[in-house]
């Protein structure tokens, strides 16, 4: 693998496919200090694609950790309005938002989980307007990743420093198809393949999905006239973008009151700078009524108890076990990758695009159609090679959707 060539292709893929930057657009990049060379490469390619201004918002893990350790409690209940206004202005003006993930997966271990929860709540409220643009895909947004040393050393515990970073870069290149000669072309084909699955599931209109696996016996009802999505989306101007690179999932939102049974996690979840591992959640009439976790129970509790809506599901996503990320046999400890190696569910807000005409409905109308609302939306991984899923058709007959972790449709 020629490293510089792969890095260049990844920056190209970010600008051409993830964001699909158009002449005259503003781009906002939120990134850590870990990979400044890569960020500069993305900025250069964005200007070459015609971007008007590229704003880079730099963050630093150590500065974040210092705040969580030392700032007064009230700091976490506040979110700077100017920051919310800035990203909202970019979205409203037709600009694009890029998050480059590189955070240490348990950066905030040992800090009070209540601080993380208050921050998430304050951020959720302050960013409500911005989320209207991004959750509905009216504004372009995308998440990609670049290694930090701390993250890379957790994914490759046998390697140190630059060697770990290099190994994580190579894993990212493979997961994003940047080890191939023409990633932009490969993603065109990939988006089309996902769209075929979406079309197939939309035609079926299953009223329920029945999941079974060791530790999991779960029924998830889907709303009437639900719409599956996957691959790229179109923004308000009609330009296609990929909100996640990589992405391997097709997804829908469950009916708020229609989840019954229990489900167990199959991969660790890094949430709010803490790892939650080996957890099981029990649902009755859609609501979480019980949960346990071998590790990170307090963090899971803060997540589930964020608001009323965080007691319900907002997403059900299908990813075959036989996918490039899953086949790497790596646990990335980062949801962007791990969710794309595994069937997953999300706690919290549903997608308004998950039912016909949902984009033009008010929050009340979405609720009437069974879609959940919450300040949060957090994916967790439940898939494995032992998972079977049946789809229940309108007349009650069952059809295999997944067998032994892979598509059976």
The one-character DSSP state at 18 is I
Taking the complex as a whole, the smallest distance from the CB of residue 192 to Zn ion amounts, in Å, to: 19
| Residue in 269, 231, 230, 405 with CA at minimum distance from that of residue 347 | 269
CB of 4 to Zn ion, least distance (A): 32
Task: Please count the other Cβ atoms lying within 10 Å of the Cβ belonging to residue 189.
Answer: 11
Q: Which is nearer to Zn ion, 274 or 335 (CB)?
A: 335
Q: Pick the stretch among 14-22, 234-242, 366-374, 375-383 that binds Zn ion (CB under 5 A).
A: 375-383
Number of residues that bind Zn ion (CB under 5 A): 4
Alpha carbons 24 and 53: distance in angstroms, whole number = 8
Indicate the residue among 264 and 343 with the shorter CB distance to Zn ion: 343
Q: Which is nearer to Zn ion, 38 or 228 (CB)?
A: 228
Give least dist CB 247 to Zn ion, A. 8
Closest contact distance (angstroms) between CB of 73 and Zn ion is 33
Alpha carbon dihedral 170, 175, 178, 182, in 10-degree steps, equals 150
Q: Considering the complex, state which of residue 179 and residue 249 has its C-beta at the smaller distance from Zn ion.
A: 249
Q: Looking at residues 277 to 336 of the shown chain, list those that interact with Zn ion (rule: CB under 5 A).
A: 317
39 binds Zn ion per the rule CB under 5 A: no
Which residue, 273 or 314, is less far from Zn ion as judged by CB? 314
Q: Residue 165 or 198: which CB sits closer to Zn ion?
A: 198
Interacting residues of 284 by C-beta distance below 8 A, sequence separation 6+: 260
Token digits of residue 167 = 């190994």
Q: Kindly tell me which of 130 and 251 has the beta carbon lying closer to Zn ion.
A: 251
* Residue 350 or 366 with smaller CB distance to Zn ion: 350
Q: Are 65 and 107 contacting, i.e. CB atoms less than 8 angstroms apart?
A: yes
Closest CA to 211 of 370, 314, 345: 345
User: Smallest distance from the beta carbon of 233 to Zn ion, in angstroms?
Assistant: 13
- Residue 251 or 332: the one with the smaller Cβ distance to Zn ion is 251
* Planar angle of CA 15, 240, 233, nearest 5 degrees: 115
Closest approach, Cβ 345 to Zn ion, in A, equals 9
Q: How far apart are CA 122 and CA 72, in angstroms?
A: 15
216-255 residues in contact with Zn ion (CB under 5 A) are: 249, 251
* Residue 94 CA: distances (Å) to CA of 27, 46, 190, 328: 9, 15, 26, 37
Residue among 264, 286, 295 nearest 381 (CA): 264
Q: How far is the CB of 244 from Zn ion (least distance, A)?
A: 8
Q: What angle do CA 271, 116, 348 make, to 5 degrees?
A: 55
Q: CA-CA distance, 243 to 99, in Å (whole number)?
A: 10
Residues 38 and 29: their CA atoms lie apart, in Å, by: 12
Minimum distance from residue 79 beta carbon to Zn ion (Å): 25
* Nearer Cβ to Zn ion (122/317): 317
Q: Quickly list H helices, 263-334.
A: 297-304, 324-327
**Minimum distance, C-beta of residue 313 to Zn ion, in the bound complex (Å):** 12
**Closest distance to Zn ion from the beta carbon of 340 (Å):** 8
Q: How far is the CB of 359 from Zn ion (least distance, A)?
A: 18
63 within 8 A of 36, measured Cβ to Cβ: no
Q: Tell me, what DSSP letter sits at residue 355? A: B
Rounded to the nearest 5 degrees, what angle is found at the Cα of 94, between the Cα atoms of 89 and 97?
Answer: 70
Enumerate long-range contacts of 155-164, CB under 8 Å, 24 or more apart: 155/330, 155/331, 155/332, 155/333
22 or 191, CB closer to Zn ion? Answer: 191
Q: What is the binding site for Zn ion (CB under 5 A)?
A: 249, 251, 317, 379
């Amino acid at each position: 693998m020629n490293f510089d060539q792969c890095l260049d292709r990844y920056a190209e893929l970010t600008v051409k496919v993830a964001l699909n930057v158009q002449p005259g657009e503003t781009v906002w990049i939120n990134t850590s200090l870990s990979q400044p060379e890569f960020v500069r490469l993305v900025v250069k390619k964005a200007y070459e694609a015609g971007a008007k201004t590229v704003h880079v918002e730099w963050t630093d893990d150590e500065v974040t950790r210092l705040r969580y350790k030392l700032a007064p409690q009230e700091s976490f209940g506040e979110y700077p309005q100017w920051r919310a206004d800035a990203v909202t202005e970019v979205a409203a003006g037709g600009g694009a938002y890029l998050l480059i993930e590189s955070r240490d997966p348990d950066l905030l271990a040992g800090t009070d989980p209540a601080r993380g929860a208050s921050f998430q709540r304050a951020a959720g409220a302050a960013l409500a307007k911005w989320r209207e643009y991004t959750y509905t895909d009216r504004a372009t947004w995308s998440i990609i990743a670049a290694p930090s040393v701390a993250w890379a050393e957790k994914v490759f515990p046998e390697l140190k420093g630059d060697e770990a970073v290099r190994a994580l870069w190579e894993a990212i290149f493979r997961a994003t198809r940047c080890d191939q000669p023409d990633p932009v072309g490969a993603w065109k084909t990939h988006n089309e393949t996902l769209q075929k699955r979406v079309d197939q599931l939309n035609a079926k209109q299953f009223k329920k999905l029945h999941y079974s696996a060791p530790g999991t016996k779960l029924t998830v009802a889907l709303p009437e006239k639900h719409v599956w999505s996957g691959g790229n989306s179109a923004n308000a101007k009609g330009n296609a973008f990929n909100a996640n690179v990589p992405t391997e999932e097709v997804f829908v939102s469950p009916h708020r009151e229609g989840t019954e049974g229990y489900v167990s996690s199959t991969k660790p979840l890094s949430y709010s700078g803490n790892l939650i591992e080996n957890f099981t959640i029990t649902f009755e009439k859609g609501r979480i009524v019980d949960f346990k976790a071998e590790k990170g129970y307090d963090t899971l509790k803060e997540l589930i108890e964020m608001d009323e809506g965080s007691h319900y599901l907002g997403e059900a996503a299908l990813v075959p076990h036989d996918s490039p990320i899953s086949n790497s046999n790596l646990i990335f400890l980062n949801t962007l990758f791990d969710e794309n190696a595994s069937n997953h569910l999300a706690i919290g807000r549903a997608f308004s695009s998950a039912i016909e005409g949902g984009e033009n409905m008010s929050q009340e109308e979405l609720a009437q159609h069974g879609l959940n609302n919450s300040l949060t939306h957090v994916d967790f991984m439940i898939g494995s090679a032992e998972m079977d899923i049946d789809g229940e058709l309108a007349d009650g007959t069952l059809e295999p959707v997944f067998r032994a972790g892979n598509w059976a449709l």
